[in-house]
Structure 1
Amino acid sequence: MKKLSQKTLNKSFITWFYGNLTCFSQEHMQTFGYLCAMLPIIEELYDKQEDRKSAMQTYTAFFNTEPQVGSLVVGMTAGLEEAKANNQPIDGEAINGIRAGLMGPLAGIGDSMIVGTLIPILLGIGLGLSGGGSPLGAIFYIVVWNVLMWFGMKFAYFKGYELGGRAVEILVGEKAQAIRDSIIMIGTIVIGAVAASWININTALMLPGGGALQKTLDGIYPKFLSAAAVIFCWWLMSKKNISPTMVMLLLVVIAFVGVLIGFFNPGLSY
């Protein structure tokens, strides 16, 4: 019976950890990074060159998901490839079907949990530590992010290898939808909290009667302009498909024009 060694599994994981975006393009996305991660697995399981070529063809198909949580798929297919090499009823088509079926669910979970929740939390802490130009914030983010990703991705990889095909039901079954909905809700709350804490937009405009518009807005809806700016940016990116870079440039233009016409005061806006 063929059994993958710990050394080979570690090599496969490290290749995915550092190279999941290898030769990244809009046509292939993470395909080549995935293929490189599976190369040590294939080399140990199959002795004949023809068998290795056939097995590697499985991993030339398009693949793209959230790379951190996606470590689970790489580990799982390593386990499935091991079962296939031991003549169990698993073929390349079945492995590809599982990969394709898990890309979407894992992308949703990973984007909500990592991009929408963890990264804003770490950045929020880092910004708090960077007051007065201190480098502690950047150091904190770099160290904590890499430590969390190393151990988190390694756990996901080896858990996928351990579960094999049983991971499919866990990730796309009935309970999976409830898990994804919960993570999305947490991510939304975190984004709202970060926006409320770090975005502070005020206006210097005076009303015809002599009162300050900002004071009137605070009496009706505190931080109204800040909330409006967040919703505006969300609308541009999600509904109009404008890139984040273009949105940032647009905000610079709006701020510049706003200061020129007296709507914003540089001393009051952040």
Structure 2
Amino acid sequence: MDTGNEKKISKKTLNKSFNLWFWGALTCFSQEHMQTFGYLASMLPIIKELYPNKEEQQKNIHAYTAFFNTNPMLGSVIIGTTASMEEARANGKGIDGETINDMRAGLMGPIAGIGDSLIDGTLIPILLGLALGMSQKGSPIGAIFYIVVWDLIAYFGQRFLYFRGYKLGDKAVSILIGKQGKAIRHAISIIGGMVVGGVLASWVNVTTSLQLKDSTGKVFLNLQKQLDSIFPGLLTVIVTLLCWWLMAKKHVSAIWTMIILIVVALLGVLVGFFNPGLKY
């Protein structure tokens, strides 16, 4: 592992780390942790090799217990990059756990947005289209084609990105710890916020069905239309800020936040503020 006094991750350990990510990226997946445990498992061989002392292992592995979620395929480049950064940290090159966390948190959002659109929204539909064309008249060739081709692309694509991230990590280290690094991390965090904001605007839509009627049954106040005339999407923003406040300021877990939202939704339906449109 060592070259002189410098610690170096062996190829065997890098292969083990990658395979743990490839096969276990979604290990113990939950809404609260997402890919945290898969990411943690992939870093264990690296931590064990770089830090023979048990106390150092426990101290340095803590950096990988934070929430993590990204596109599993393109996300392998983050794992490779952090492997390189961990190697630099072990050699005393000015990297600490906070720097690793900042880089990871800044990259996982943009890579998730790019990966989901490129892989899930483009590559997979293309492969499925080809497979469906081969499956006419009940032929199994289409299914076999999709399984084989997708597995090969997924494995070797992720492997390439992992080792590319590791190889370029040394160059990234010198940037990450300087003034340019702060600016880059800030820019990445902004891009990540934009991606999350775009997902929010596309997938979250909170509206109210509350209406006030006069004695003749005519609606004289439609609350949703009034809100839209003042601030379109206001309720969506309020719910989003509520979730952020609960998790970021009050340190409420994601699971309890979802439970709170369910309770609010049920109460809203009971009092007529929300209408799920269900018929019994």
Same fold (TM over 0.5): yes
Aligned mates of 1:238, 1:176 — CA distance in 2: 25
SS at match of 1:207: strand
**Which 5+ residue runs of structure 1 have no aligned equivalent?**
43-54, 81-93, 130-134
Determine whether 1:173 maps to 2:191: no
In 2, Cα distance between equivalents of 1:180 and 1:19: 27
Once the two structures are superposed, residues 90-117 of structure 1 have per-residue CA deviations (whole angstroms, 9 ceiling, x without a partner) of xxxx836448x33211211211211x33
The separation in 2 between residues aligned to 1:258 and 1:18, in whole angstroms, is: 47
Partner of 1:12: 13
- Contact 2:85 / 2:100 at 8 angstroms: preserved in 1? no
- The SS at the match of 2:221 is coil
Equivalent position SS for 1:200? coil
Identity value in percent? 29
Question: Does the aligned pair in 2 maintain the 1:200–1:226 contact within 8 Å?
Answer: yes
Q: Does 1:229 align with 2:227?
A: no
Contact 2:206-2:235 at 8 Å conserved across structures? yes
Equivalenced residues, count: 216
1:218 correspondence with 2:211: no
* Number of the residue aligned with 2:168: 159
Give structure 1 regions of 4+ aligned residues with deviation exceeding 6 angstroms: 29-32, 124-129, 142-148
Matched, 1:241 2:236: no
Q: Does 1:258 align with 2:268?
A: yes
**2:52 corresponds to:** 56
Matched, 1:194 2:195: no
Instruction: Give distance in 2, aligned partners of 1:126 and 1:265.
Output: 36
Deviation track 1:142-178 (CA, whole Å, cap 9, x = no partner) reads 9898776543322122234xx3xx6543221111000
Q: Is the 8 A contact 1:71 1:157 kept in 2?
A: yes
Counterpart mapping for 1:89-168 below 5 A: 95=90, 97-98=92-93, 101-114=95-108, 116-120=109-113, 122=115, 149-160=158-169, 163=170, 168=173
Q: 1:32 to 1:237 in 2, by over 3 A?
A: closer
Q: Distance in 2 between matches of 1:227 and 1:172?
A: 35
Deviations 1:178-210 (A, max 9, x none): 000000110111111111111111101113662
Encode CA deviations 1:105-133: one digit per residue, 9 max, x unaligned: 1211211211x33325555789989xxxx
Which residue, 186, 202, 210 being the options, matches 1:205? 210
- Structure 1 residues 109 and 77: CA distance shift in structure 2, 3 A: closer
- State the alpha-carbon separation in 2 of the partners of residues 146 and 237 from structure 1: 35
Q: How far off its partner does 1:16 sit?
A: 1.7
TM-score with structure 2 setting the length: 0.61
Match of 1:90 in 2: none
SS at match of 1:211: strand
Q: Distance in 2 between matches of 1:238 and 1:70?
A: 25
Q: Distance in 1 between matches of 2:276 and 2:40?
A: 47
Unaligned runs of 5+ in 2: 4-8, 29-36, 69-74, 123-127, 130-145, 215-219
Distance 2:274 2:202 in 1: 20
Aligned counterpart, 2:33:
none
Q: Is the 8 A contact 1:31 1:61 kept in 2?
A: no
